[in-house]
Amino acid sequence: MRLLIVGAGGVGSAAVRIAARRSFFDHCVVADYDVARAEAAVSSVDDPRFASAALDASDAGAVEQLCRSLRISHVLNAVDPRFVMPVFTGAFAAGAHYLDMAMSLSHPHPERPYDKIGVMLGDEQFAEQDRWADANRLALVGMGVEPGLSDVFARYAADDLFAEVHDVGIRDGSDLVVDGYEFAPSFSIWTTIEECLNPPVVYEKNRGWYVTRPFSEPETFNFPAGIGPVECVNVEHEEVLLIPRWIDARRVTFKYGLGNEFIEVLKTLHKLGLDSTKKVRVGGVEVSPRDVVAACLPDPATLGERMHGRTCAGTYVTGLGKDGRPRATYLYHVVDNAWTMAEYGSQAVVWQTAINPVVALELIAAGTWTGAGVLGPEALPPRPFLDLLTEYGSPWGIQEL
């Protein structure tokens, strides 16, 4: 396996550190628009299999060319979701297999964004399904932690724990705090705004996909491992688009444990138009308000040392168990920031995202996971994934509710 990791940000750099401990690949090139970032990611591990390169991820032709010249077999896309399509397209053109951790972006319905479905997450990628299948190439999309591990959990529950699945609810929450800041998100504020202010999508078997208002259906979910109750709300997320394609469920939702404070911040940014990416004129210059918000906050990738607490990703499934009786189970993965910082020098949120595509690549390299076309993680057998995750030193958990 000759791997290209596109993007040497928090997630890409953590993936390098995780992969360096494994032997399943032969060569791995880390590419970034800012080649110094790629070099830094490579030099953080002492491993001759790694090299760095400069790459503009918005240029599909450049992605194709780099893949060809380096004879890349598999591309792991670890850049901002804005660049999913050029990396996906460039990898295909070069004949490589492809993995990402977020799907092509949605576009709300232009007139009635909260009533009608527009372009959904991943629509542009699934439109290419036949071409990928015909070329016998695998595009494994949404293969981070959420989407990713959360989808694997859903498939595992559907296969091994339930006779009949009613609700599949992804629930994400943490008790992470960052010392020394009044407000410091542990994940990209740009992406958080994008996820949280887009109309959330919900799936129901009898109705199909539909959109709701941002922050709809608030629910206090009691997270395990001492994290405790966190207010969760509907957020647009890939699992809702992926899971119904492979799993027979009555209803699929994604709720993000933003907590009250973060929800109020996002609502206020929206109310004031500060979430907008459309440039405004200020004095003699033009800027995107959302970029200004990001510039005022600390870079989450640099906050690992000041952060403490745990983050939990998981899938809450209800329905009838194998014995035919009602069952409600939460399958989850908890990561402690103190542990990821000590073991890998990566903060918990980016590390938890990065480990999953590395596990998936190892399963692909071993031939345990095979397939062609555009597939979600729930299209593949879940148990080998969960076992290998545990072998990596980061076990998952299960709780009956």
Which positions touch a second copy (CB under 8 A)?
182-183, 264-265, 268-274, 276, 280-283, 285-289, 291-293, 295-297
Cβ closer to a second copy: 2 or 267? 267
Q: How far is the CB of 289 from a second copy (least distance, A)?
A: 5
CA nearest to 275, candidates 293, 257, 300: 293
By C-beta, is 119 or 280 nearer to a second copy? 280
| Chain position carrying tokens 């960052």 | 178
Largest CA distance in the chain: 69
Q: Which is nearer to a second copy, 159 or 291 (CB)?
A: 291
Minimum gap (Å) between residue 183 Cβ and a second copy: 4
Buried b (16+ CB within 10 A) or exposed e, 229-255: ebbbbbbbbbbbbbbbebbebbbbbbb
Nearest to 192 by CA among 80, 36, 114, 88: 80
Residue recorded with tokens 């941002």: 214
Distance CA 318, CA 250 (A): 10
Cβ contact 238:148 at 8 Å: no
- Tokens for 389, please give them: 């995750």
Cβ–Cβ under 8 Å, residues 335 and 348: yes
| Comparison of 73 and 192: residue with beta carbon closer to a second copy | 192
Per the rule left: phi > 0, alpha: psi between -120 and 50, beta: everything else, 7 is: left
CB of 392 to a second copy, least distance (A): 36
User: What is the β-pairing status of strands 97-100 and 138-140?
Assistant: parallel
Min CB(295)–a second copy separation in Å: 5
The tokens of 78 are what? Answer: 């670890």
Smallest distance from a second copy to CB 125, Å: 29
Instruction: Give me the least distance between CB of 232 and a second copy, in Å please.
Output: 21
Shorter beta-carbon distance to a second copy: residue 2 or 270: 270
DSSP per residue over 270-309, as a string? HHTTTT--S-EEETTEEE-HHHHHHHHSPPGGG-GGGEES
Q: What is the Cα gyration radius of the chain? A: 20
Q: Closest by alpha carbon to 170, among 142, 129, 208, 190?
A: 142
Which CB contacts under 8 angstroms, 24+ apart, belong to 196-199? 196/235, 196/236, 196/256, 196/258, 196/266, 197/266, 197/269, 197/270, 197/275, 198/106, 198/108, 198/236, 199/108, 199/113, 199/114, 199/236
CB-nearer residue toward a second copy: 132 or 187: 187
* Cβ nearer to a second copy, comparing 269 with 359: 269
Report which of 376, 382, 324 is spatially closest to residue 159, judged by C-alpha positions. Answer: 382
**How many other C-beta atoms are found inside a 10 Å radius of the C-beta of residue 130?**
11
Smallest separation (angstroms) from a second copy to the CB of 180: 13
Q: How far is the CB of 261 from a second copy (least distance, A)?
A: 9
Compare residues 207 and 271 and give the one whose CB is closer to a second copy.
271
- Closest approach, Cβ 297 to a second copy, in A, equals 6
Q: State the nearest-atom distance from the C-beta of 272 to a second copy, in Å.
A: 6
Nearer to a second copy, 101 or 265 (CB): 265
- Rank residues 157 and 265 by Cβ distance to a second copy and give the closer one: 265
